[in-house]
Amino acid sequence: MTHRLTAIIVGIVCSLSAWAQSADSLAAHCLSESRWFDLHDVYATDSAQMSPFIRQFARTMVNQMFNRPQQACDDILTLVRGYQQQLGGANACSMLLLLADNYSRMGDNARAAATVRSLADQMEGKADSATVAQMRGKERLYSALSALRVNETDTASHTLPFTYTELGDTAQQLMVVGGSVNGRKAGLIFDTGAAYNVITPEMARRYRLRIIDADIEVSGTRLMGGKMAVADVLTIGSLTVRNVVFAVLDMTAGNERARRVAQQISLVIGQPLLQLFGSYTIDFASRQIHLTHQSRRSGAAPNLFFNKVPYVAVTRDSLRMAMALDTGAATSSLDNAYYKAFAADVAREGKWELAATMGVGGISYNSVFRMPAVALSIGDTPFTLHRVAVTALSPHNRLTQGYGRLGIDFMRQWSSVTIDNVNMTIRLQH
């Protein structure tokens, strides 16, 4: 999804020379550089000074990135219907695919399938066969899901006790919630940085998941393909969810070291489950996760945006950086964009080493500088990352593109961390 949005934005921003207003220029730069927090602020203060097309485009992306899928759907339709000439055919097509994704997120997979089907029909003979085939694959997936009541659950609040598991001989720990899949006992990794619920092919067979005839692509340490499957019943803590969709992925990619570690992370619960709730609190003091549907709009300025996973606004020296909030990472990391922004400090204070990153797609080895400490802040709350790796070079690792990710070592600095999916805020409690 990130690559699709980037393609849309770059294609549009390159044609903005006709727009002379400074508000347009500010919005265009935010869009072209994926600076979503800055775009939110620019739109809030300067939208009245924007030209109609840029105002609508900025509004669309603000609603999209700050987790308002219904408003984003309305805005995408307005954008495509009213500004198709400015968008261009390819960009309008990409926006309609984004529209279908939003329908699916909201549980209307029949509408998502109809949107992609209509688009694919229009593109037959106009687009290359691979593009149309990809659309037909999405149509099959949405059609299959439309026959199910995906993620069916109640409206009560729930508590999930968790423990820690060590990854092989690394002494690194991930969070595990106990439960069952289709009636069979299971331990599931709790991963706020997972865009999908994930299961390995072996576990999908063991727990008797139903495979859906549709392919997907997932970005991890590399881009890899897989299938989708459905668990009839998932129970974790006091929560029971029916018709839970998993991405079926081989996370080892033939790497023996990855294979040994992946046995411990063969079942992962991620954002598709967490987005069912208005907010959730990870209570590290009591080792419990509290899920609640209740969250009212407060008017508070967001310090999170959502692009498949949550990103938090982290500041250093007045530079506002988006970092993934990722309990699927035992340790925090700072990535390519951070290295470029603070290269002199990193070169002066860091110690070079070769480090391994484990993710979907196997293990990737990165050239990093190990920093003794990096001082950052979220809003007015300062914190320090100790012995943190800054990735200088990692040409094939898709996890290291951006400013970084805040892992469990960051979160365990607090007694509790609350993520509000409605107001898009994170609250840190000592």
| Whole-prediction pTM | 0.90
Q: Is residue 144 part of a domain?
A: no
Is the model's pLDDT at 127 over the cut of 60?
yes
Residue 22: the pLDDT is 87
Q: Is the same domain home to 320 and 216?
A: no
Task: Report the 10 Å Cβ neighbour count for 292.
Answer: 17
Please tell me which residue, 52 or 266, carries the higher pLDDT value.
Answer: 52
Task: Report the 10 Å Cβ neighbour count for 344.
Answer: 7
Q: Is residue 270 part of a domain?
A: yes
Residue 299: the pLDDT is 74
Q: Is the same domain home to 324 and 272?
A: no
Residue 304: both structure tokens together: 């999170």
Distance CA 57, CA 279 (A): 28
Q: Is the same domain home to 324 and 288?
A: no
Q: What is the average per-residue pLDDT within 249-256?
A: 65
Q: Is the same domain home to 288 and 308?
A: no
Is the model's pLDDT at 32 over the cut of 70?
yes
Q: Is the same domain home to 98 and 185?
A: no
Residue 141: both structure tokens together: 């997936």
Q: How confident is the model at residue 19 (pLDDT cuts 50, 70, 90)?
A: very low
SS3 337: helix
Answer with the one of 263, 292, 321 that is the final residue of a domain.
292
Answer with the one of 265, 292, 319 that is the final residue of a domain.
292
Q: Is residue 126 part of a domain?
A: no
Q: Is the same domain home to 267 and 336?
A: no
Q: Is residue 380 part of a domain?
A: yes
Is the model's pLDDT at 49 over the cut of 80?
yes
Residue 144: the pLDDT is 93
Distance CA 40, CA 269 (A): 30
Q: Is residue 149 part of a domain?
A: no
Q: How confident is the model at residue 278 (pLDDT cuts 50, 70, 90)?
A: very high
Residue 273: both structure tokens together: 């489950």
Answer with the one of 268, 292, 316 that is the final residue of a domain.
292
What's the domain range around 100?
2-106
Handedness of CA 101, 102, 107, 112 (dihedral sign): negative
CATH number at residue 170: 2.40.70.10
Is the model's pLDDT at 4 over the cut of 70?
no
Read off the pLDDT of residues 283-303 as tens digits, 9 standing for 90 and up. 999 999 999 998 777 778 899
Residue 217: the pLDDT is 76
SS3 183: coil
Residue 219: the pLDDT is 67
Q: Name the DSSP letter for residue 8.
A: H
Residue 358: the pLDDT is 62
Name the H helices within 147-223: 201-206
Residue 205: the pLDDT is 96
What total of structural domains would you count in the chain?
3
Q: How confident is the model at residue 119 (pLDDT cuts 50, 70, 90)?
A: very high
Residue 169: the pLDDT is 63
Read off the pLDDT of residues 169-182 as tens digits, 9 standing for 90 and up. 666 899 999 999 99
Nearest to 212 by CA among 110, 144, 272: 144
Q: Is residue 143 part of a domain?
A: no
Q: Is residue 386 part of a domain?
A: yes
Nearest to 197 by CA among 183, 177, 213: 177
Whole-number average pLDDT of the chain: 89
Read off the pLDDT of residues 338-353 as tens digits, 9 standing for 90 and up. 999 999 999 999 999 8
Residue 311: the pLDDT is 97
Residue 224: the pLDDT is 73
Q: Is the same domain home to 250 and 339?
A: no
**Mean pLDDT lowest among 61-75, 132-146, 251-265, 359-373:** 251-265
Q: Is the same domain home to 382 and 413?
A: yes
Please tell me which residue, 222 or 304, carries the higher pLDDT value.
Answer: 304
Residue 213: the pLDDT is 80
Residue 390: both structure tokens together: 């800054």
**Mean pLDDT lowest among 22-36, 184-198, 207-221:** 207-221
Q: How confident is the model at residue 362 (pLDDT cuts 50, 70, 90)?
A: low
Q: What is the average per-residue pLDDT within 413-427?
A: 97
Read off the pLDDT of residues 50-80 as tens digits, 9 standing for 90 and up. 999 999 999 999 999 999 999 999 999 999 9
Residue 7: both structure tokens together: 């393609």
Strands of 260-361, DSSP E: 267-269, 279-283, 288-292, 304-307, 309-316, 319-325, 333-334, 351-359
Q: Name the DSSP letter for residue 221.
A: S
Q: Are strands 184-190 and 267-269 parallel, antiparallel or unpaired?
A: parallel
**Mean pLDDT lowest among 209-213, 254-258, 404-408:** 254-258
Residue 221: the pLDDT is 59
Distance CA 103, CA 381 (A): 36
Q: Is the same domain home to 263 and 331?
A: no
Q: Is the same domain home to 50 and 92?
A: yes
Residue 132: the pLDDT is 93
Residue 176: the pLDDT is 97
Contacts for 316 with CB less than 8 Å, ≥ 6 apart: 342, 374, 375, 376, 377
Q: Is the same domain home to 184 and 262?
A: yes
Please tell me which residue, 29 or 3, carries the higher pLDDT value.
Answer: 29
User: Computed over its alpha carbons, how large is the radius of gyration of the chain?
Assistant: 21
Q: Is residue 119 part of a domain?
A: no
Q: Is the same domain home to 278 and 338?
A: no
Residue 320: both structure tokens together: 């506002």
Residue 357: the pLDDT is 65
Is the model's pLDDT at 426 over the cut of 60?
yes
